[in-house]
């Protein structure tokens, strides 16, 4: 089976693993009448199930501090020992025709103390992935005018990583900005506008890189804010004696329930991009196998198209760059 690699990118604690959990969990709920199916391998399914329970436990208390009691991703024996999450994508009840491999890693690989093997691993991961999802810790981007954005989301390092990984790029790539823990900022039109403006400001150097003559023809940039819990909002920020920020989150009501929003949107964009490359029918090296992906299966193509067409373009969702790669 042909395989496509996708990277979950971001420093520690921003929400990479949570985002992956939410994408998977909400696919089933949102695929609706579309005849598509996403099937995880057994181990991925078990891990994601555990993570989902942890995510839902945010609702057990009225107010919780970010990253408390929840394990970060670990790779005890180095990058080689990391496991990825594979999902078969295809028609319901039929053997999948495409495998999506989501790579998740410990965000510590972005830190100065990361060793050479870890840094190299990250560059290769980004280089070899068709799609990269940048998970953004939204309160760090938004609160106190983004004072903690650099410290927590590390945009400059992310820019340097892309600079290295995308050298001599010769085929299209999609980079999705996915704000997480963003419930508070999607309350109304004004706050949503501010969120979009702040993303463009907070990642201005990266966006400039993508707009460079070399890269611009190949890059698609999309913003997809994901409310992985829905009913837990950022409440306040405290700074400890070492100037480390602590973010607190609160349920919107005492009886609030788990109500995630839009978690499947990155997948809709991903499939829209792949479908476009398939229909384009040119030879892309990296993506050559996509030419025969949907083959003669018109029904599967229709199902993919129907799902892809559900990608949102308002309410915080925006194509920042490269719409022609999404035009189906
Ligand atoms: N309130 C709130 N907290 C969240 C949300 N998503 C993640 N968190 C919290 O953020 C913390 C980090 O999430 P992870 O998904 O483990 O972060 P990560 O990027 O995988 O981190 P590493 O594995 O260390 O690189 C956890 O404590 C989560 O509970 C969210 O949507 N809302
Ligand atoms: Mg993780």
Structure confidence by residue, pLDDT tens digits, 140-149: 999 999 999 9
Any atom of ligand 1 within 6 Å of the Cβ of 231: no
Phi-psi region of 52 (alpha: psi -120 to 50; beta: other; left: phi over 0): alpha
Give the count of alpha carbons within 13 A of 243, CB side only. Answer: 3
- pLDDT of 194 > 90? The answer is yes
- Rounded to whole angstroms, the Cα distance separating 247 from 63 reads 10
19, 264 Cβ separation under 8 angstroms? no
Which of 7, 66, 153, 248 maximizes ligand 1 atoms within 8 Å of its Cβ, making it the mutation to test the pocket?
Answer: 66
Ligand 2 (ion): residues with CB under 5 Å are 16-17, 73
- Closest ligand 1 atom, CA of 232? 1
Residue 206: φ, ψ to 5°: -65, -45
Angle, CA 222 vertex, CA 220 and CA 223 arms, to 5°: 160
pLDDT in tens, 23-52: 988 887 777 667 888 888 899 889 999 999
263, 225 Cβ separation under 8 angstroms? no
Any atom of ligand 1 within 6 Å of the Cβ of 58: yes
Least confident segment among 172-176, 210-214, 219-223, 284-288: 284-288
How many whole angstroms from 137 Cα to the centroid of ligand 2?
Answer: 13
- pLDDT of 157 > 90? The answer is yes
Domain of 286 in residue numbering reads as 2-325
Any atom of ligand 1 within 6 Å of the Cβ of 139: no
Structurally, how many domains does the chain consist of?
1
Percentage of the chain with pLDDT > 70? 98
Angle, CA 132 vertex, CA 321 and CA 137 arms, to 5°: 90
Any atom of ligand 1 within 6 Å of the Cβ of 14: yes
Any atom of ligand 1 within 6 Å of the Cβ of 153: no
How many whole angstroms from 34 Cα to the centroid of ligand 1?
Answer: 30
Least confident segment among 190-194, 211-215, 284-288: 284-288
Burial degree of 189 (CB within 10 A; 0-12, 13-18, 19+) = exposed
- pLDDT of 94 > 90? The answer is no
């Amino acid at each position: 089976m042909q395989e496509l690699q996708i990277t979950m990118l971001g420093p520690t604690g921003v929400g990479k693993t949570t985002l992956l959990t939410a994408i998977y969990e909400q696919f089933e709920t949102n695929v609706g009448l579309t005849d598509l199916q996403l099937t995880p391998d057994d181990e991925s399914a078990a891990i994601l199930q555990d993570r989902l329970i942890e995510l839902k436990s945010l609702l057990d208390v009225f107010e919780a501090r970010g990253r408390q009691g929840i394990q970060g991703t670990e790779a005890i024996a180095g990058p080689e020992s990391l496991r990825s999450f594979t999902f078969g994508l295809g028609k319901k009840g039929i053997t999948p025709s495409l495998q999506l491999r989501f790579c998740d890693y410990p965000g510590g690989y972005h830190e100065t103390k990361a060793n050479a093997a870890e840094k190299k691993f990250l560059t290769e991961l980004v280089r070899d992935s068709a799609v990269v999802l940048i998970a953004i810790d939204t309160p760090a981007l938004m609160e106190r005018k983004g004072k903690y954005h650099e410290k927590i989301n590390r945009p400059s390092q992310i820019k340097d990583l892309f600079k290295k990984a995308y050298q001599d790029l010769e085929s299209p790539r999609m980079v999705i900005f996915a704000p997480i823990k963003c419930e508070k900022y999607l309350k109304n039109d004004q706050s949503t506008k501010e969120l979009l403006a702040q993303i463009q400001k907070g990642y201005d150097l990266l966006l400039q890189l993508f707009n460079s003559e070399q890269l611009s023809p190949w890059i698609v940039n999309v913003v997809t804010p994901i409310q992985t819990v829905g009913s837990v909002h950022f409440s306040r920020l405290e700074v400890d004696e070492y100037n480390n920020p602590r973010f607190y989150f609160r349920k919107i009501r005492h009886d609030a329930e788990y109500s995630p929003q839009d978690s499947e949107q990155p997948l809709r964009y991903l499939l829209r991009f792949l479908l476009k490359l398939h229909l384009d029918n040119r030879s892309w090296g990296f993506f050559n196998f996509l030419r025969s992906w949907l083959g003669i299966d018109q029904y599967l193509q229709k199902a993919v198209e129907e799902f892809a067409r559900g990608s949102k373009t308002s309410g915080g969702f925006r194509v920042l760059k490269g719409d022609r790669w999404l035009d189906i």
